[in-house]
A = this chain, B = another copy of it.
Amino acid sequence: MNKAKPTVLKIGGSVITDKNGELEARTDVIDRLAGEIERAAIKRLVVIHGGGSFGHTKAQQYGIKDGLKDPSQLAKFAETHHVMTVLNGLLMDSLIWHNVPAVSVTPSSVIMTKEGRITTFDETVMRKLLEMKMTPVMYGDAVLDSEIGFTILSGDQLTATLATLLEAERIVIGVDVDGLFDGDPKAEKTTKLFEHLTVDELRKLQGKLGKSTACDVTGGMFGKMAELLYAVERGIPATIVNASEPDNVYLALRGERVRGTTIGEK
């Protein structure tokens, strides 16, 4: 593989879907983000997106994450994966419309987990796409699991694993808040944004603020960071920005100054 290190962009499911509706995509946001990706013109880029009201809703409804318990769930697993391909298709449509050479690499076709953790990952095609300067796109997906039959692979675990595997230059994470705060910015007004955190500072804050998703005072953000830690501990810096606001993803991809939280070097 060519030496140039790829950038990994993760777009949160809550950015591109409406969590209040079922199977409601924000096609205007998808189109704006595809445009920002086009303008940023990053030669080696991997895009990963979450499931939002597509994947999460179905997965929860059918208990896919906890594995196969009843044969009637097989068709439900199939349906959960299928709705993710539909959401992915909307982003692919938009990226191709914007002339980005984006090729979807289906997570459930190349990845298997064991009790929810990635064990098999055939990244042959992924590497070849990057070498050819195309943009592989992956997503949180319903995947097969060697121990429990099937489960849900989060876009966050995928992002950290892939960034590490590909020795990414950096990770850009687009969410629906401005970054990491010392509280929940959606619930409180006096929360403070962390502009820069070292790996050590992130670890300490996680213990303090985000012990579990259930009692995470930061609205789930520090909980999500647990997955990301795997990559930043291995020297891959991450920038978290608000992708619901125009231009932030563009600026972060270009490495320009942008409101948000940077973790690790730089």
Contacts and interface: CB of A to CB of B under 8 A. Distances in A.
Interface of A: 68, 71, 74-75, 77-79, 81-82, 85-86, 89, 92-93, 95-96, 99-106, 108-110, 112, 120, 122, 124-125, 128-129, 132-134, 144, 146, 149-150
Contacts of A112: 124-125, 128
Given A74-B133, A125-B144, A108 B99 contact: no
Nearest to A68: B132
Given A68-B132, A110-B125, A124-B122, A77 B89 contact: no
A74 B134 contact: yes
A144 B122 contact: no
A144 B144 CA distance: 25
12 contacts: A74-B132, A74-B134, A82-B93, A85-B89, A104-B106, A105-B108, A110-B122, A110-B125, A112-B124, A120-B124, A122-B122, A132-B150
B122 A104 contact: no
B96 A78 contact: yes
